[in-house]
Amino acid sequence: MDARETPETMLVRPLLLKPQWMNGLSERLLVSHYENNYGGALRRLNAIRARLAALDWARAPVFEINGLKREEAMAAGSVILHEVYFDSLGGQGDDPPTGREEPPAGLADALARDFGSVAVWRAEFTAMAKALAGGSGWVILAWSERLGRLVNHWAADHAHGLPGAIPILALDMYEHAYHLDFGAKAAAYVDRVMGI
């Protein structure tokens, strides 16, 4: 939580990546995605939390409680996954990415341990993302303490995920993540992001 946030209100995190360094992802796409989708999810989460704070829990109809809590889970998931997504893109240092960046040594070792090699992990993750083309959702690399390993999993929406898993890398496969630059060519977007 940011130092300026209260438990009731979360603030949009600054966009740390430099859009001009995202070879093949336009600044227009990245800023629109960040401001409209990530920022919109955070504003929605804050509005839902405000409604929940004012709710008379003893008198509220069950459909209202159910609906608000379901929407809270989806908005919170969207916020968190978008933050992981933008962090995953890189481009936050002093030098532009060189192209097809490799994972840091510790992560590369863990990927090799749990998938056989970084190349096998990359092939599985990329294929999962391309399988979502024309649909919606997320492809996520996460650490599962319960399973004792890294896992790739998909999420049909912002509220689906492997219980207890910590997302490390998230690839947004909703059309808003790629349509401005790639139109319906989701596979080209996946290849570009995986190249970054």
Same domain, yes or no: 157 and 115: yes
For residue 53, is it within any domain? yes
Distance CA 64, CA 68 (A): 6
Using the Cα atoms of residue 12, residue 90, residue 182 and residue 26 in order, give the sign of their dihedral: positive
Same domain, yes or no: 114 and 175: yes
What would the mean pLDDT of 100-106 be, rounded to a whole number?
79
Same domain, yes or no: 74 and 141: no
**Per-residue pLDDT tens for 57-82?**
999 999 999 999 999 999 999 999 99
Same domain, yes or no: 73 and 127: no
For residue 95, is it within any domain? no
For 12, the 3-state DSSP assignment is: coil
For residue 113, is it within any domain? yes
For residue 162, is it within any domain? yes
Domain span at 64:
19-89
Gyration radius from the chain CA atoms: 18
**Per-residue pLDDT tens for 138-160?**
999 999 999 999 999 998 877 78
Which structure tokens are listed for 146? 């319960």
Same domain, yes or no: 79 and 125: no
For residue 7, is it within any domain? no
List, as own/partner pairs, every contact residues 58-65 make where C-beta atoms lie below 8 angstroms and the sequence separation is at least 24, other chains included.
none
Cβ pair 10, 42 in contact under 8 A: yes
Please give the tally of structural domains in the chain: 2
**Which carries the bigger pLDDT value, residue 86 or residue 96?**
86
For residue 94, is it within any domain? no
Same domain, yes or no: 111 and 169: yes
Q: Which of 57-71, 107-121, 126-140 has the lowest mean pLDDT?
A: 126-140
Cβ-Cβ contacts under 8 Å for 185 (sequence gap 6 or more):
178
Distance CA 101, CA 77 (A): 27
CATH of residue 172: 3.55.40.20
For residue 100, is it within any domain? no
Query: Is residue 4's pLDDT more than 60?
Result: no
Cβ pair 92, 18 in contact under 8 A: yes
Same domain, yes or no: 114 and 190: yes
For residue 5, is it within any domain? no
